[in-house]
Amino acid sequence: MFDPKTHCVVVVGAQWGDEGKGKLVDVLAERADVVVRYQGGANAGHTVVIGEEQFVLHQIPSGILHQGCTCLVGNGVVLDPETFFTELDRLHDRGVTTSGRLFVSDRAHLVMPYHKLLDAASEKSQQLGTTGRGIGPTYEDKYGRRGIRVGDLRHLEGACDLLASRVERANQLLAVMGAAERASLPQHIELLERLAPRLVPLASDTGLLVHRALRDGRRVLLEGAQGALLDVDHGTYPFVTSSNTTAGGAAVGAGIGPTAVDGVLGVVKAYTTRVGNGPLPTEATAGAGEELRRLGGEFGATTGRPRRCGWFDATVVRYSVRVNGLTGLAVTKLDVLDTFSEIPVGTAYEMDGGDCEEMPAEVRMLERVKPRYEVLPGWRKPLAGARRLADLPPEARAYLDRLQDLAGAPIRYVSVGTRRDQIIEV
């Protein structure tokens, strides 16, 4: 992805999340100087496998596993400080040193325990099947101009005053919702007093750091979380997350201008999954779905929930290419399809007997579409050892060619396993 003219690359999920962005970012980070997370929070779960070790990162950019990489948590992220430090300690335990190369935007909003209580008590959250990490309530407070930001911790007394009014408000809401639990102000104050001394030294104007890195000719990777169909504007609203997961959100959430971005890589699974509720037009029948889930290990990295599984949906990815301005695709988990003798691909939608070429805005309409399938022959050979396109059986090549044609963006990477080396650069 990086070349003399491409210094700033965005990596986004082009479906419903869990496409394997963690692995792609880890692979690309080898050539990057800076990796920035720009939206979402601990709802994300980015899995990276190195040798026999598996790392699941929720808050810290996946570039952290490369010693030479500076990692930034951007202003667009909602930061759960407790999860952040738990994750950081675990990395330290496993020998990853982060001193001097991990910074957090002083403009990032903090996820507080009362946000998680509100998420858990909310009927709306239940309907959507949120991750329960307090993401929605924290973004609500951000836009409601009631948020507490990382930079506020520089003046702890003032931050504790803010807390008092926020906890009181949260408890009023919890009472209205009929929830039994209440947020405790002393516990919140204790949390901030405990974590501020660790967090404040990491607080920085991260947008400025990115700006300077680019000015000095360094390579910057902007790491998205979730996927385009979970974008609060472009996704299957209201079954979406609370941030802009699409590439436009990268500039805002990292604190740079959109003209700084040189390329956008969309990560897609060779099939489709979704965790949580909402439409999934190419959802497979129970048997095939179960098989995909088993072979692909499709269980949520954050909540452990079984993911819903289905076939590649070209309408979704074509839409994603458009709304993200994708300049390339990375197809992941192709090896999961190794044993299937026939692989359906959703090429287009029909609605009420006619064509439906674009993603409808309303879920009510999306629930009515019927995917049109093309059935491609499987390759029935293990792909795990392939390192070049030429190593792939003709059926796998044909499958990728068809995906690329339907999606309308060039495939740049193909992943054939969880390990770092199991990648084909096209």
Q: CB within 8 A of 301, min separation 6: which ones?
A: 18, 45, 46, 47, 56
CB of 277 to ligand IMP, least distance (A): 6
Which residue's CB is nearer to ligand IMP, number 47 or number 327? 47
Contact 104, 254 (CB under 8 A): no
Stretch that binds ligand IMP, among 124-132, 182-190, 377-385, 407-415 (CB under 6 A): 124-132
**Residue choice 39, 70, 122, 130 for contact with ligand IMP (CB under 6 A):** 130
| Residue numbers 264-293 binding ligand IMP by CB under 6 A | 275-276
CA pair distance 40, 77, nearest whole angstrom: 5
Strands 263-269 and 8-13: parallel
Rounded least distance, CB 77 to Mg ion, Å: 15
Binding partner at 268 among ligand IMP, Mg ion, none, C-beta below 5 to 8 Å by kind: none
Subset of 45-104 contacting Mg ion (CB under 5 A): 45
- Cβ nearer to Mg ion, comparing 19 with 313: 19
- CA distances to 339, 392, 394 from 379, rounded to whole Å, are 8, 9, 8
Q: Say whether residue 81 binds ligand IMP (CB under 6 A).
A: no
In angstroms, give the least distance from the CB of 201 to ligand IMP. 28
18 is catalytic: yes
Residues 397-416 that bind ligand IMP (CB under 6 A): none
Residue 93: other Cβ atoms inside 10 A: 8
The window from 42-50, 156-164, 246-254, 318-326 that contacts ligand IMP (CB under 6 A) reads 42-50
Q: In the set 301, 323, 326, 366, which binds Mg ion (CB under 5 A)?
A: 301
Select the residue interacting with ligand IMP from 20, 22, 45, 281 (CB under 6 A): 45
Find out whether 375 and 342 touch, Cβ atoms under 8 Å: yes
- Are 71 and 38 within 8 A, CB to CB? no
Rounded-to-integer distance, Cα 61 and Cα 66, Å: 11
**Closest separation between CB of residue 2 and ligand IMP, Å?**
25
Location of structure tokens 């516990």: 187
Q: Inter-axis angle of helices 394-407 and 314-324, to 10 degrees?
A: 50
Among 18, 231, 262, 283, binds Mg ion (CB under 5 A): 18
Q: CB of 404: closest distance to ligand IMP in angstroms?
A: 24
Q: What is the DSSP string of 180-224?
A: S----HHHHHHHHHHHHHHHGGGEE-HHHHHHHHHHTT--EEEE-
Distance CA 55, CA 167 (A): 34
The yes-or-no answer on residue 93 being catalytic is no
Interface stretch with ligand IMP, choices 27-35, 125-133, 192-200, 343-351 (CB under 6 A): 125-133
> Which of 7, 18, 109, 188 does the annotation list as catalytic?
18
> Cβ contacts of residue 299 below 8 Å, gap of 6+?
293, 305, 306, 307
Q: Give the span between the Cα atoms of 357 and 17, in whole angstroms.
A: 22
Residues that bind ligand IMP in the complex, under the rule CB under 6 A: 17-18, 43-45, 128-131, 133, 135-136, 225-226, 230, 241-242, 275-276
Residues forming the active site: 18, 46
Residues that bind Mg ion in the complex, under the rule CB under 5 A: 18, 45, 301
